Structure formats: structure tokens, C-alpha cells
Chains A and B, each alone.
Chain A
Amino acid sequence: MDLKWIALVPLFPLLGSVINLFLGRRLSKGVVGTLACAAVLASFAVSVGAFFSLNAMAPEHRQVVVHLFDWIDAGSFHVPFAFLVDPLSVLMILVVTGVGFLIHVYSTSYMEHDEGYARYFTYLNLFTFSMLVLVLGSSFLTLFVGWEGVGLCSYLLIGFWYEKKSASDAGKKAFVVNRIGDFGFALGMMLIFWTFGSLNFTEVFSGASRFAAGEPVMTTICLLLFVGACGKSAQLPLYVWLPDAMEGPTPVSALIHAATMVTAGVYMVARCHVLYMLSPTAMGVVAVVGGVTALFAATIGLVQNDIKRVLAYSTVSQLGYMFLALGVGAFSAGIFHVMTHAFFKALLFLGSGSVIHALSGEQDIRKMGALKGPLGRTYFTFLFGTLALAGIFPFAGFFSKDEILWNVYNTNRVLWVVGVAGAFCTAFYMFRLVFLTFFGESRLTSEAKHHLHESPPRMLVPLFVLAILSVVGGWIGLPLMPGGNPLTHWLDPVFGPEAAVGGEGAGHGLEIGLMALSLGVALFGIMVAWLFYRKTPKLPVALGASMKGAYNMLLNKYYVDEIYGAAIVRPFFSLSGMLWTFFDVKVVDGVVNAVGRFVRGAGSAARGLQSGYVGGYALAMVLGLVVVISYYFIK
């Protein structure tokens, strides 16, 4: 396949979106859904083609820029609309279109009874388009198109049920918090432009070799870009939008807020690894923010009662792991986790969707229980996802998480301890979720009980596929392989040989030992969860009561939203109000009106000249002027 066809990858979903926008309300649901799915499937097919074409090339040539058209030209500022095809972007488009397609299929059933069916698929296809532009863009600015585009779609999809205030609030919050991140990203781009004279990846990254490590401008650039990553990938302190994003339909949470969009920040930092490698400070910040977020969000996840919120905090936490990997220079490990996480987190969200669907909308795990029987298939796949997320051998998450922890261990022991602690929490809260949802006694409301049913095939098949991927997806990154694993090998042309950071030198024995240790920690987490929620269910209640302060702290998510509200949002609104009612109305207009009164006072002396009808003499003035001009003009 000629790589210039890569433009079709984002184009198909864009077309799907446009068609459904204009005709969706007139087409049948079957046509709308099929069209949307077909668009993404076609993109996936082209992506596979691109993969094989790239694979057939010599590794050092696997970097092709496909120019589409000139976008913005102003003096030396020259940004074409072009796509960059390389191992990293191809891996990303495979994940986005592959997982995206499954979620589209799932959605055709999940959203079947929604009156906004066509609108939903318009947004979903538009999202796919934006995400593909994001990962394919060959410059910071093209990336930014997708970057803000996914923000837009996120806004639209979170607020999809627009009549619900909480939903439209959450959509707005997502957009605004993302914008705060984009503010940093945009400033980063400006500094890049004036530093390198270009915003194209190839020119910027090759220009970076002129700089020595640790130069302040590099650190500033990297930190500004990282502000953007924190917004998009929900890291401290900008993660607050993501848990609220669960207001959207569940497949949206699966696609956008787990599998794809939120990984954009990780992708971007990995893409800019050349710059980050030049700034140890920025790398340190990335690692610390990632590590702290990983543990912070995991602790909140311990006590949440909404099935989707547990998963949401788990997403924040897992994204933290990815940044932790990037921060210690293990870029391909970070991308590996992006991929496996896409599989198992999409699976978990879709599984939770299947549960919610079966219970006609119930999301509170305190009102679930004993669903293993009636929702056997959902349970089975959900368990796969859970094992993968908890990092149990041989599920996908085990390999990617372990590669991260191994790299962290070789760089910073404190962060490693933080990461392992997070892994314990992860295993615990996920099995708490499984036990409360699928085991024990049924706590269903009678209405839910009545409605209870396993999901239809169009929802189950995507679950099965993702369940398989949640196992085998990890095997392309098997550890301890001589010469690196296939994934690292594939990404080598992008990131370069990674041995420098750690990995190879430290001996296989230690690596195996650490693997066993983290597996043990995860199993311990599962055991504690079993003890708490299967063996002695009174224990967590007693514990919660005895440690009320800590428990409330976690249940209320460290009061972060409340703090932001009291410290930033409300003062800002009252200040704005004051500026208006005081400064604008009293001060400026006060002066203006005083001048007006003065003029009127002076004018009353000459009242004889005034007819009182301003319009009259204004018109006379114009006509007079017209006559004067015409006179000179004709003469």
C-alpha cells in the first residue's frame, strides 16, 4: 500500500460523521449504525495496510511524511497539514481504530433505544477522526487540531444527555479543564517556534541536537507541553474532569475516557522524547507527577461505590503509571501500557456498561451482587479485564506494568515503592468491585431484578474480542527476550535502543525476583479484598467506622473539587461580578456620564440652535456633506 493513502484513515470517520450529521435523522437506525461502524472498520483496514507497508521497509526508513495541503503560512511561520507515518503513529492508529470499531459495534446495541442515536454516532465518528488526526499529525499544530478536537467531542459526548444538568456540567468542566492544559501546550508551541523556527516534528527534533542537556529553554518547553498532557491525560492537578466524565454514555467512557483520548498526553510526551531527554528536570517532574497520581487516584478508588467511578479513578491511576514510565525514560514501556490498558480498560468499561444495561441504569455497587449467574458471560469477560488490570500473570497488564516497574526500579527506588503500593491498591479495589458486583447476596432493587437480562450478542462479541486481547495483547511485549521484545523492537526506530536507561544491564535474576514480588503484592491485594468482601463483610464497615476521618477523606476524593471551588472558581466569579458592577458601571461610566452632564450644561447656553431632534440635524449634516462632495466631484 502506498502510504499516501494514510489520509483515508481519518477521512472515513469524518465522512461518516458528516453524513450522519446531515442525513442521520432521516435514515433508519440500522443504516446510521452500520455507516458509523463501517467507517471505522475501513480506517482499521487501511491502518493494517499501513502497518504492513511500513514493516516491509528498512527500519531506518520507517518515517514518512505525507503532505496534504498548506495550512497556515505567515512569514517564517509555515505549518502544512501533513501526517507522519512511523511505527509509533501506526501502532496508535491500530489501537484507536481497532478498539474504536469494537466500541462502535457495542454502541449500536447499547444506544438502540436512545432518541439521539444519529447524533451519538455523529459525535463518535467525529471523535475517531480527531483522535486519528492527533496521532497522525506531523507537527505540533496538526497534533493540536486533534488534541482540541477530542476535547470538543469529549464535551459533546459527556454532555450527550443534555437535559441532565450534571451531564452538561461535566461536559463543560471537561472542556474547560482541558483548555487549561491546552493553554500550557499552546505556550509551549510558541516557545518551540521561536526556538526552532518550526513546529514540524522532524525539524524540531533534529534541531534539538544543537542543545545541550539541561538548558532552561528545553525544560520550559517540556514543562509547558506537560501542562497540556496533564489536562488531556488527567494527571494531578488537572485530573478532576475525568471522574465526572462518567456522566456520558458508558461506551463513550470506554472509548474516550479510557482507551484513547486520555492517552493523548502520554503519546505526545513519548513523541517528544527527544526534547524530554534533554531536560532531566522535566523528566523528573513527569515521573513524580505520574507516580503520585498513580497512588493518589488508586487510594480514592478504594472506597468509591459507583461502578464507573471506580474504573474512572483506576484510569487516572493507570495513566499515572504511563507517565511514570515516560519520566524514567522507558518510552516504549509507557506506550506498551497505553496499548494493553486500551484493551482491558475498554473491556472493563464495556463490561460495566453491560451490567448497567442489565440493571436498567443502576450504577451503585451497593445495589448489585450475585450477578455471576444471570450475567455469566459479562462476568467472565469482566474477570479477564480485572485480572489484566490487577497485573496477574499471564494477562496483558502484568507484562506492561511490570516492564514499567522494572524500569522505575532501576532509576528511582522511592517511586518504585509508590508504584508497588499503587499496584496493591489496584488489585484490591478491582476485586472489591468484582466481589460486590458479581458475588455475595443480591441487593438488587425489585425493579432491577425484574428487568435483569444478559446483554445481546452485539454487546457481548466486542467483550469477547477484548477479553482475548486482554490476554494475548501482552505477549508482544514479553520480558527477558534476547534483543528486546517485539514491541520494543518495532518502536526502536522511534525511540532508539532503550538499553541506556536500565533494562539489560541489571541482570535477569533481579528482574524475575521483582516480577514475583509485584505479582505477590497483587495477589495479596486480591486476598485482602476477598477477606473484606467475601469472608468477613463486617470488617470493612468496622474499619470504615474506626477510621472515619480517613474514610471520609477518600470517599470525598480528598475534597479536591471543593477546594478548587472555594479557592478558585467562586472567588473568580465574584471578582468578575465586582469588575462589572463596580468598575464598569460606577467608575468608567460614572466618568462618562459626568462628562455628558457637563457638556449638556454647557450646551444649554446655546439651546437656541438646537431643534431637539438629533436625528433631524444629523441627517441634514450628511446630506450637506454629500452635496459638497458631489459638487467637487462633478466639477
Chain B
Amino acid sequence: MGLLSILVWLPLAGALALLAWPRSNEGGMKLFALGVSLANFALSVVLFRQFVPTEAGMQLVENYPWIASIGASYHLGVDGISLFLILLTTLLSALAILSSWTSIHKKMKEYLISLLLLETGMLGVFVSLDLVLFYFFWEAMLVPMYLLIGIWGGERRLYAAVKFFLYTMAGSVLMLIAILVMYFTHQRETGKYTTDLLQLYGTHFSASTEMWLFAAFFVAFAIKVPLFPFHTWLPDAHVEAPTAGSVILAGVLLKMGTYGLLRFSLPLFPNATQTFTPLVIALSVIGIIYGAMVALVQPDIKKLVAYSSVSHLGFVVLGLFALNLQGVEGSILQMLNHGVSTGALFLLVGMIYERRHTRLIADFGGLWKVVPVFSVLFMVVMFSSIGLPLTNGFVGEFLILVGAFKDHPLATVLASTGVILGAVYMLWMYQRVVFGKLENPENQGLKDVNTREKWVLAPLIVLILWMGVYPKPFLARMEPSVQKLLTEVRSRQAVTALGLHAASPEVKR
């Protein structure tokens, strides 16, 4: 087994081991699960070290025939696009487990198993280069998330869980149909049955088929992102999910959508991408502004952060469809940034929720007085979310906007207002929670962050500053792969354009 396989299956192995764990030994289970996730993070660091920064193609590839009868293969690989998403996943998974130390009061065993299964699913999605394998992980990941919300969630957890499940399933079904259509089209064209992504990249579709395929994939991914107007599952899911669930959901799961767009939609359907670009950009810009405006009026901190995600992910999609180096690299960076910053925000909200059992902004005020360290950390994270220069948020956001400005200046102007609005809703929330006089007596005895909580937040704070001050190690590793992908997309757009020219007289005849 290669490194990628170990990385993917180690959490599952951990989960299986937990199955056999005596239920009474909760402390041991937690330590074990944390150990597994930390080991996996260490493995991903090894992966990072082995990764050759200058290479554009897939690395550490594992490719075995799998279900030979249908042409599916067990094909894994990593490139500059997925590398950091893998690191993000392993880091956030470990932090999610560490953050749940004292906040889960029932079914600890199942909880840890769900988190580990989730990690396997997410990593699988990022390394799969075969559509069947990808689809398997894509679906598999859904279940533990569903359980996390449905079992360990808040009061309306069932509604939220079912809504999450149905929304995502609706998208998945469309994607499955699209995969089948591609599968058979490719066979008709080449006589060979395969679900290997890299082979499918070259498939030629008729213009209308390509449109439909693009649309099907797009809806699946747009729901996941979530892009306006497919976003209403997100606030409910976030509000009801336990902290770790929210962290993973915002930090990694949403990136599945944007990752999918980049890995599948753009290179598989370059012409449809071109056709749909105006629509997609319009939706992202609406999402940016709409998400920010709705975030502004939320009474619940978690819901506010959820809607802010809609806004931030709008930026990511905008950057992807800018279809140039700045935009796409900015987008990938922003995926990571959002994972780090919003992950940290959810962790902070979770800490305060664990102490006060409320997340309503109105229940707080004047917290600086009692929890100064918490307040400072909260502020750092907030400014990273606002995109202050020298924090991670700025680099990603600015690159996206620079990229988008080239071909879509008007959309960029509108999107940039999101940067103003981001400051408005965040600062206003922060003011009402942290500043002012401490008037609610229940906040009087609040304890500041403890050592474990500091350890949960420290890596994220370090990343916030590192990626803001010196993003070079990140950008340098993305660039060759992004360049390759864009060249492919563009060349195929060009080829088809030529092909259409050549073909048109025939059509007339």
C-alpha cells in the first residue's frame, strides 16, 4: 500500500479498532482516536515532504484495477490542488477530536467512530482519480456527517440532518446520472469502458450533452459549496451540529464542492464552463453579497458564521471561474483560509457555548472583562475572516479579485463590496459579544480558555499568520498543477472552437 492509501484507510482502521473498545473506558477511546488522527496528520506532513513542488501532474500515484467488469480502478494521486486540502483535512480532524474532549455527553464511542469514518471519506474524495471511487467516498462521507448532526446535534437536529441529507442526495443523484452518461459516451467514442478521471478528461461530448453534464455536476457541487440559492441547508446544519461537526462541515465538506468544480467540472466540460461562466459568476456575486447581508441580521453567532461561509465561498467560486492563475490559486488558498479561519470561529463559538449553553449574541456583551485571552484570539480570527492584510484571508481574497477583475470587472466591483460587508457584520457581532459592559450576571464567572483549548486554537492562529505573511510555500506548490489544468481547459476550448468552425459547413450541407 502506498502512502495515500495508508492516509485514507488509517482512520477507518482506527474506527474499527474503536468498535472493539470497552465502552467504559472513555478516556482511553478519546486518547486513541486523537492518537490516530494525529498520526494521520503526521503522515500528511510526510506526504507534504515527499511532494515534489515543481511537478504539475499527479504524484504518489496508486493505480490498480478494482472492479474490472465495469472498468473501475483504484486510482489515487495527489497534485498541487489537492495537497493542501489533504493537510487541512487531517489537521482539522485532529483538532475536531481534541475540541470534543468535554463537550460530548452521550455515545462517545459512536461519536469518535463517526469522526474517523468521516476523515476517511473526506481524504478519499480528495485523492480519488476514479469516478466510481470518488462517488463512493462522496456518499460515504455523507453518512457520518448525517449521524453527527442527527445524534449529537441541538434541538432541531433531526430536521437539520434530514435537510442536509436530502439536499446532498439530490445533488448526488444528478451527479451519478451524469457519471453514467459520461461512462457510456466515452465507451462509444473509444470502445473502452473506464471510469478513470484522467482518461475521461479527453472525452469529447456533443455541445448539448456537455451542457447537461455540466449542469448536473454543477448542481451537485453547488449544493455542497453551497452556492446561492442552494444554501439553505447550511445554516440549519451548522446551528444544530456539534462543534466538531461544524468545524469539519465548514472546514472541509464545503470545499468538496469547490474542489469538485475545479477537478471535474472545468477540465471535463471546458466548453460548457465557458458558456455557463456568466451565470456562475452572477450566482457567486449574489452569494457574496446576499450571504453577507443575511449574516448581518442573525441573532445567533453560529448562524452568522454559517451565512458568512456562503459569502466567503462565493469568493472561491468567483476565483475558479476567473479561469486564470491568480483567480484559481487565490481560490485554492481561500479554500484553505476558510477552513482555518471559519474552523477557528466555530471552535471559539463552541467554547463559549460549552460554558454558557447559548449562542445568542444578545446573551453576551462585555466578555473582554472576564475572558481576555479568548477575546484576543477571537479578534485575531475575526480579522483573518475579514481579510486583513498579513492574515491569510487577505492573500486569497485579493488574488481572487485580481484574477476576476481581468475579464469581469463589473462583477469584481460588486464582489468587492462583500469585503466591506464582511467587516460590518463581523465587527458588529464582535462588538456586541465582547465589548460593552458585562451586564448579564450569568457571564460573570466565565472561565477563560484552558490549556487544551489553547492547543486547539494555536495551530490555526499560527496558520492564519503564516499564510498571510509568507504564502509562498503554498502558492508555489499549487502553481504548476493549476497552470497545467488551465492550459488543458484552454486548449480544449480552442480545439473545440476550431472543430466547430470546421464542422459548420457540413452541418449546413
Q: Which residues of A contact B (CB under 8 A)?
A: 69-77, 141, 144-145, 147-149, 152, 155, 159, 162-163, 165, 168-169, 172, 175-176, 179-180, 182-183, 186-187, 189-191, 193-194, 572-573, 575-577, 579-580, 584, 588-589, 592, 595-596, 599, 614-615, 618-619, 621-622, 625-626, 629, 632-633
Contacts of A573 in B (CB 8 A): 296-297
Name B436's contact: one of A152, A168, A193, A572 (CB within 8 Å): A168
| Bound-complex Cα distance A155 to B423 (A) | 12
Asked if B406 CB lies within 8 Å of chain A CBs, one says yes
- Shortest Cβ distance from residue A260 to the other chain B in the assembled complex, whole angstroms: 18
Name A186's contact: one of B293, B419, B472, B483 (CB within 8 Å): B419
24 pairs of residues in contact across A and B, judged by CB atoms under 8 Å: A69-B470, A72-B471, A72-B472, A72-B475, A74-B325, A74-B330, A74-B479, A77-B399, A148-B388, A165-B435, A168-B435, A176-B423, A179-B419, A182-B419, A187-B413, A190-B412, A193-B405, A194-B405, A579-B290, A579-B293, A588-B231, A592-B166, A592-B167, A622-B144
Q: Contacts A74-B325, A162-B368, A618-B146: A575 and B472 contacting too (C-beta < 8 A)? A: no
Interface centre among B147, B330, B394, B427 (most CB of A within 10 A): B427
A589 and B232 within 8 A (CB): yes
B297 and A580 within 8 A (CB): yes
Query: Main SS of the interface on chain B?
Result: helix
| Bound-complex Cα distance A599 to B163 (A) | 12
Contacts of A596 in B (CB 8 A): 162-163, 166
A176 and B232 within 8 A (CB): no
Contacts of B420 in A (CB 8 A): 176, 179-180, 183
- Shortest Cβ distance from residue B143 to the other chain A in the assembled complex, whole angstroms: 5
Asked if B383 CB lies within 8 Å of chain A CBs, one says yes
B436 and A163 within 8 A (CB): yes
Contacts of A148 in B (CB 8 A): 388-389, 394
- Shortest Cβ distance from residue B152 to the other chain A in the assembled complex, whole angstroms: 11
State the 5 A-B residue pairs at the shortest beta-carbon distance, nearest first: A75-B325, A576-B293, A168-B435, A190-B405, A162-B435
> Hey, what's the 0/1 contact readout for B414-435 against A, CB within 8 Å counting as 1?
0011011001100110010011
> Who on chain B is nearest to A581 by CB?
B297
B428 and A186 within 8 A (CB): no
> Who on chain A is nearest to B483 by CB?
A75
- Shortest Cβ distance from residue B444 to the other chain A in the assembled complex, whole angstroms: 15
Asked if B140 CB lies within 8 Å of chain A CBs, one says yes
Q: Contacts A573-B296, A619-B143: A159 and B435 contacting too (C-beta < 8 A)? A: yes
B: number of interface residues (CB 8 Å)? 75
Asked if B28 CB lies within 8 Å of chain A CBs, one says no
B402 and A77 within 8 A (CB): yes
Q: Which residues of B contact A (CB under 8 A)?
A: 12, 66-67, 74, 117, 136, 139-140, 143-144, 146-147, 150-151, 161-163, 165-167, 229, 231-233, 235, 290, 293-294, 296-298, 324-326, 329-330, 366, 368-369, 383, 388-390, 394-395, 398-399, 401-402, 405-406, 409, 412-413, 416-417, 419-420, 423-424, 427-428, 431, 434-437, 469-472, 475-476, 479, 483
- Shortest Cβ distance from residue B169 to the other chain A in the assembled complex, whole angstroms: 10
Contacts of B406 in A (CB 8 A): 194
Name B294's contact: one of A77, A144, A159, A579 (CB within 8 Å): A579
| Bound-complex Cα distance A42 to B406 (A) | 44
Contacts of A619 in B (CB 8 A): 143, 147
Contacts of B475 in A (CB 8 A): 72-74
Contacts of B324 in A (CB 8 A): 75
| Bound-complex Cα distance A149 to B469 (A) | 13
B402 and A190 within 8 A (CB): yes
A186 and B232 within 8 A (CB): no
| Bound-complex Cα distance A540 to B428 (A) | 41
B427 and A152 within 8 A (CB): no
Name A575's contact: one of B293, B399, B479 (CB within 8 Å): B293
| Bound-complex Cα distance A71 to B395 (A) | 9
- Shortest Cβ distance from residue B45 to the other chain A in the assembled complex, whole angstroms: 23
Contacts of A575 in B (CB 8 A): 293
Contacts of B163 in A (CB 8 A): 592, 596
Interface centre among B231, B369, B398, B399 (most CB of A within 10 A): B398
> Who on chain A is nearest to B142 by CB?
A618
| Bound-complex Cα distance A193 to B420 (A) | 21
A172 and B431 within 8 A (CB): yes
Contacts of A169 in B (CB 8 A): 431
- Shortest Cβ distance from residue A574 to the other chain B in the assembled complex, whole angstroms: 9
Number of CB contacts from chain A to chain B under 8 A: 166
Contacts of A187 in B (CB 8 A): 405, 412-413, 416
Contacts of B472 in A (CB 8 A): 70-73
B294 and A576 within 8 A (CB): yes
| Bound-complex Cα distance A420 to B388 (A) | 40
| Bound-complex Cα distance A190 to B136 (A) | 42
| Bound-complex Cα distance A52 to B435 (A) | 46
B146 and A149 within 8 A (CB): no
B423 and A175 within 8 A (CB): yes
- Shortest Cβ distance from residue B37 to the other chain A in the assembled complex, whole angstroms: 19
> Who on chain A is nearest to B420 by CB?
A179
A622 and B140 within 8 A (CB): yes
A162 and B424 within 8 A (CB): no
| Bound-complex Cα distance A592 to B368 (A) | 41
B436 and A149 within 8 A (CB): no
Q: Contacts A74-B330, A176-B420, A596-B166: A588 and B232 contacting too (C-beta < 8 A)? A: yes
Interface centre among A77, A152, A573, A625 (most CB of B within 10 A): A77
A163 and B369 within 8 A (CB): yes
| Bound-complex Cα distance A588 to B436 (A) | 36
With A70-B472, A592-B166, A614-B165 known, 19 other A-B pairs at CB within 8 A are: A72-B395, A72-B398, A72-B471, A72-B472, A77-B326, A168-B435, A176-B427, A190-B401, A191-B409, A576-B296, A577-B297, A584-B232, A584-B235, A592-B232, A599-B166, A614-B162, A615-B151, A619-B143, A629-B136
| Bound-complex Cα distance A211 to B399 (A) | 26
B424 and A176 within 8 A (CB): yes
| Bound-complex Cα distance A53 to B69 (A) | 77
> Who on chain B is nearest to A620 by CB?
B143
> Who on chain A is nearest to B438 by CB?
A163
Contacts of A180 in B (CB 8 A): 420
- Shortest Cβ distance from residue B375 to the other chain A in the assembled complex, whole angstroms: 9
- Shortest Cβ distance from residue B127 to the other chain A in the assembled complex, whole angstroms: 14
B405 and A191 within 8 A (CB): yes
Contacts of A155 in B (CB 8 A): 427
> Who on chain B is nearest to A162 by CB?
B435
B294 and A584 within 8 A (CB): yes
Name A632's contact: one of B66, B162, B167, B329 (CB within 8 Å): B66
Contacts of B229 in A (CB 8 A): 588
> Who on chain A is nearest to B432 by CB?
A168
| Bound-complex Cα distance A187 to B397 (A) | 12
- Shortest Cβ distance from residue B500 to the other chain A in the assembled complex, whole angstroms: 29
| Bound-complex Cα distance A69 to B306 (A) | 36
A145 and B424 within 8 A (CB): no
Name B419's contact: one of A183, A577, A588 (CB within 8 Å): A183
Q: Contacts A74-B399, A175-B423: A186 and B416 contacting too (C-beta < 8 A)? A: yes
| Bound-complex Cα distance A473 to B171 (A) | 70
Interface centre among B165, B235, B423 (most CB of A within 10 A): B423
- Shortest Cβ distance from residue B468 to the other chain A in the assembled complex, whole angstroms: 10
B329 and A74 within 8 A (CB): yes
> Who on chain A is nearest to B327 by CB?
A74
- Shortest Cβ distance from residue B132 to the other chain A in the assembled complex, whole angstroms: 10
A633 and B66 within 8 A (CB): yes
Contacts of A588 in B (CB 8 A): 229, 231-232
| Bound-complex Cα distance A162 to B438 (A) | 11
| Bound-complex Cα distance A572 to B420 (A) | 13
Contacts of A614 in B (CB 8 A): 146, 150, 161-162, 165
> Who on chain B is nearest to A161 by CB?
B435
| Bound-complex Cα distance A73 to B469 (A) | 12
| Bound-complex Cα distance A159 to B167 (A) | 43
Contacts of A152 in B (CB 8 A): 383, 388
A75 and B147 within 8 A (CB): no
> Who on chain B is nearest to A165 by CB?
B436
